[in-house]
């Protein structure tokens, strides 16, 4: 019997971790190509979560159906942000870019506070308490749907980078900035596109997460930190690493919540970050840079 | 020492400083309780901003987790006072020891293992968040339920126990702000300061010219952490309540860095000027909205964010260097 509990919690953690992995995937793509650390990543996810919340409370639209609209919305936001503001900061020092994002993050979080108030809000889907049973394994329906949706979105992103001309062009920019300019690629537009795509990932993740999590204005900063922890754990700039990191963090948090108390699980996650930063700073998958 | 303090400053800067100090000393006699609280907030952010500035502005190490040091200072002095009756000034010695040790651990791990730049900033946030969840679950410090100090009696000022009227707190904080300002100036003019600036500008070059960069980065973090612990003590005894959710929150860390960022990172006038500008704006806006009967929580932070955004885009050096040049207050080189 106890083994069953561990197994169920572990599977739940992995499924939840895939959604966090999708969120972190966006951050990783942006960092890998544009070399800008998107410090308002979690705040952007909160925008998608509030959009799904509004759609649900006003029109009873299932958050899963909001994945595409949220992705499109956040793509637009990210594209404009990169085009209007961040492109000017590409040549500025790292901490200057970072502070620009901090400023944007403060504004987003507090506009959400003004618009929606400080209370935690959630969505009650008809299948919120459903579950599937596979042998002795019991899986929550919302977590299963969420994980599948996250995998589908991630697969689409992989396919885009692998098999389309545009995706190849973006990878070229990431590999060699000057080279990409020499062969005539419009690097600034490709950067904006990449930033948009990264934001679209986090938008999709936000809609999915609304199935199982509450949203508050304070959720944004915490999610940003979580995205960073996942990306650093998986390897900055690595797409597979982001998903793996998400799964690892989800699993750790779930097991720590089961073995100790749920409120302490974040400490284990920070513990992982510290260990990774110290002993494997390039992450699980990342390549060692000189 | 006096020479080192005033060396190179134009006379009008000194006159202005003296004037400002005189104004600050008489201010509590001229304003009501409301504005006194505003002044305390300004000084608080000037103080913490200056302490943070030593790490980021002088040595170039971006900390986004300074709430950790505020929180540790607050909890150390408050638990010693509430549980053992130890006066805050004695408790402060313990608080400084705790925060300096904590800063040393973070610095040692980060600098030994070459965690730099944005990774370092993330590491500092992670430590602050680690402390937040830790204190939330630590029953000795009363966990998430919060720690309360016996409420101050306004009729009787007790400086030693730090219980009394806000005006007393104001003078304590003013003295501390002046002290930290003078100390920062002395550091900036010392060997330590020059080494720190060299590290900020180009760490490899500094190391190549024989600066022990590890050691001086450690000094910067430890000094900054120790100074910040006083702000924690002040916070605990001024507000009389402590919640991990509040003192260790990321938004507290962000608040601390706003004043020096807007005023000018690495400058001495920056944190003070930035704190005045930001709080002045916030209060102006609050009163304006108040006259129309509107109360919007969060609008202050939106304005702060917008100001920071503008400054980062248009004046990356900050407001103070720009204004100081125009007023002829800048230091002669």
In this structure, of A137-146, A195-204, B172-181, B254-263, the range with the lowest mean pLDDT score is A137-146
B217-255 exposure pattern, b = at least 16 Cβ within 10 A, e = fewer = bbbbbbbbbbbbbbbbbbbbbbebebbbebbbbbebbbb
Residue B140 touches chain A, beta carbons under 8 Å: no
Please give the Cα distance from A11 to A21 (Å, whole number): 15
User: Model confidence over B170-214: pLDDT tens digits?
Assistant: 999 999 999 999 999 999 889 999 999 999 988 889 999 888 999
Which residues in chain A touch residue B251, judged by CB atoms under 8 angstroms apart? 109, 218, 221
Residue B207 and residue B195 in contact, taking contact as beta carbons nearer than 8 Å: no
Question: Residue B77 above 90 pLDDT?
Answer: yes
CB contact (8 A) between residue B305 and residue A266: no
How far apart (Å, rounded) are the C-alpha atoms in residues B291 and B75?
39
According to the model, what pLDDT value does residue A288 have? 53
Residue with tokens 């083994």: A3
| Chain A residues inside the 8 Å CB shell of B313 | 85, 88, 100
**What mean pLDDT, rounded, does chain B reach?**
88
**pLDDT of B180:** 93
Q: Do the chains contact at B130 and A88, CB–CB below 8 Å?
A: no
Read off the pLDDT of residues B243-277 as tens digits, 9 standing for 90 and up. Answer: 998 899 888 999 999 999 999 988 888 999 999 99
Interface check for B3 against chain A (CB to CB < 8 A): the answer is no
Q: Which residue has the higher pLDDT, A154 or A124?
A: A154
> What percent of chain B has pLDDT above 70?
97
A124–chain B Cβ distance below 8 A for any pair? no
Q: What is the CA radius of gyration of chain B?
A: 20
Which of B137, B301, B313 minimises the CB distance to A264?
A: B137
pLDDT one-digit tens code per residue, B211-240: 899 999 999 999 999 999 999 999 999 998
Is pLDDT above 60 for A1? no
| A96 vs B contacts (CB less than 8 Å) | 312, 316
The count of residues in chain B is 333
Chain B residue with Cα closest to A226: B126
For residue range A208-241, what is the model confidence (pLDDT) as tens digits? 999 888 899 888 988 999 999 999 898 887 888 8
Is A266–B316 a contact, with Cβ atoms under 8 angstroms apart? no
Per-residue model confidence (pLDDT) at position A287? 63
The whole-number pLDDT of residue A180 equals 84
In this complex, the residue of A104, A217, A228 whose CB is nearest that of residue B122 is: A228
With a threshold of 0.90, tell me whether the complex ipTM lies above it: no
Q: What is the Cα–Cα distance from A213 to A215, expressed in whole angstroms?
A: 7
The per-residue pLDDT for A53 is 93
Of B90, B300, B99, the closest CA to residue A114 belongs to B300
Whether residues A114 and B299 touch (CB distance < 8 A) is answered with yes
> Which has more pLDDT, B150 or A205?
A205
Cβ contact A98–B118 (<8 Å) = yes
pLDDT at A98: 84
Chain B from 210 to 229: CB within 8 A of any A CB: none
Instruction: Please tell me which residue, B256 or A176, carries the higher pLDDT value.
Output: B256
Q: Which domains does chain A have, with CATH numbers?
A: 2-279 (1.10.3470)
- Residue B333 pLDDT more than 60? no
In this prediction, residue B66 carries a pLDDT of 94
pLDDT of residue B332: 60
A290 has pLDDT over 50 = no
User: Using a CB-CB distance cutoff of 8 angstroms, which residues of chain B are in contact with residue A264?
Assistant: 133, 137
Given a cut of 80, whether residue B152 has pLDDT beyond it is no
Specify the pLDDT at position B40: 94
């Amino acid at each position: 019997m106890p083994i069953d509990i561990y197994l169920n919690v572990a599977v739940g953690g992995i499924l939840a971790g895939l959604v966090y992995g999708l969120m972190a995937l966006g951050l990783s793509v942006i960092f890998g190509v544009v070399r800008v650390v998107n410090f308002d990543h979690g705040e952007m996810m909160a925008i998608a979560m509030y959009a799904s919340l509004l759609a649900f409370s006003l029109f009873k639209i299932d958050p899963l159906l909001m994945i595409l609209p949220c992705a499109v919305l956040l793509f637009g936001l990210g594209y404009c942000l990169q085009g209007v503001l961040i492109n000017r900061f590409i040549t500025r020092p790292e901490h200057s870019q970072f502070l620009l994002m901090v400023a944007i993050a403060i504004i987003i979080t507090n506009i959400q506070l003004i618009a929606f108030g400080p209370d935690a809000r959630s969505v009650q889907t008809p299948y919120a308490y459903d579950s599937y049973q596979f042998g002795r394994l019991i899986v929550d329906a919302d977590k299963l749907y969420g994980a599948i949706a996250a995998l589908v979105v991630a697969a689409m992103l992989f396919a885009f980078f692998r098999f389309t001309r545009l995706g190849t062009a973006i990878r070229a920019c990431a590999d060699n900035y000057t080279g990409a300019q020499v062969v005539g690629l419009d690097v600034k537009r490709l950067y904006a596109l990449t930033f948009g795509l990264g934001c679209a990932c986090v938008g999709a993740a936000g809609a999915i997460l609304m199935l199982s999590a509450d949203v508050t204005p304070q959720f944004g900063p915490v999610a940003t930190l979580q995205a960073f922890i996942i990306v650093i754990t998986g390897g900055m700039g690595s797409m597979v690493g982001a998903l793996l990191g998400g799964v690892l963090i989800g699993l750790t948090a779930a097991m720590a919540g089961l073995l100790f108390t749920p409120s302490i699980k974040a400490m284990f996650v920070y513990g992982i970050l510290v260990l990774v930063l110290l002993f494997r700073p390039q992450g699980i998958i990342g390549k060692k840079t000189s | 020492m006096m020479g080192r303090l005033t060396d190179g400053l134009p006379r009008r800067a000194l006159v202005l400083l003296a004037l400002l100090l005189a104004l600050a000393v008489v201010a509590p006699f001229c304003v009501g309780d409301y504005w006194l609280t505003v002044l305390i907030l300004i000084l608080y952010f000037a103080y913490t901003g200056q302490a943070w500035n030593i790490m980021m502005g002088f040595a170039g190490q971006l900390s986004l987790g300074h709430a950790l040091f505020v929180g540790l200072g607050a909890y150390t002095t408050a638990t010693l006072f509430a549980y053992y009756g130890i006066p805050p000034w004695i408790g402060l010695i313990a608080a400084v020891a705790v925060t300096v040790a904590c800063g040393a651990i973070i610095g040692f791990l980060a600098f030994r293992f070459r965690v730099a730049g944005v990774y370092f900033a993330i590491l500092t946030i992670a430590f602050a968040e680690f402390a937040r969840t830790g204190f939330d679950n630590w029953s000795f410090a009363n966990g998430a339920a919060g720690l309360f100090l016996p409420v101050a009696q306004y009729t009787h000022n007790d400086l030693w126990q730090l219980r009394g009227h806000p005006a007393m707190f104001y003078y304590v904080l003013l003295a501390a702000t002046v002290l930290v300002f003078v100390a920062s100036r002395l550091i900036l003019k010392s060997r330590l300061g020059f080494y720190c600036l060299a590290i900020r500008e180009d760490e490899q070059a500094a190391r190549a010219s024989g600066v022990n960069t590890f050691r001086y980065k450690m000094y910067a973090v430890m000094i900054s952490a120790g100074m910040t612990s006083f702000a924690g003590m002040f916070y605990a005894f001024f507000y009389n309540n402590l919640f991990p959710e509040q003192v260790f929150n990321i938004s507290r860390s962000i608040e601390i860095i706003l004043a020096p960022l807007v005023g000018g990172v690495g400058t001495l006038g920056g944190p003070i000027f930035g704190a005045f500008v930001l709080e002045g704006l916030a209060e102006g806006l609050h009163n304006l909205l108040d006259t129309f009967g509107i109360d919007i929580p969060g609008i202050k932070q939106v304005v702060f964010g917008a100001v920071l955004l503008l400054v980062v885009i248009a004046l990356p050096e900050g407001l103070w260097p720009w204004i100081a040049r125009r007023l002829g207050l800048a230091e002669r080189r």
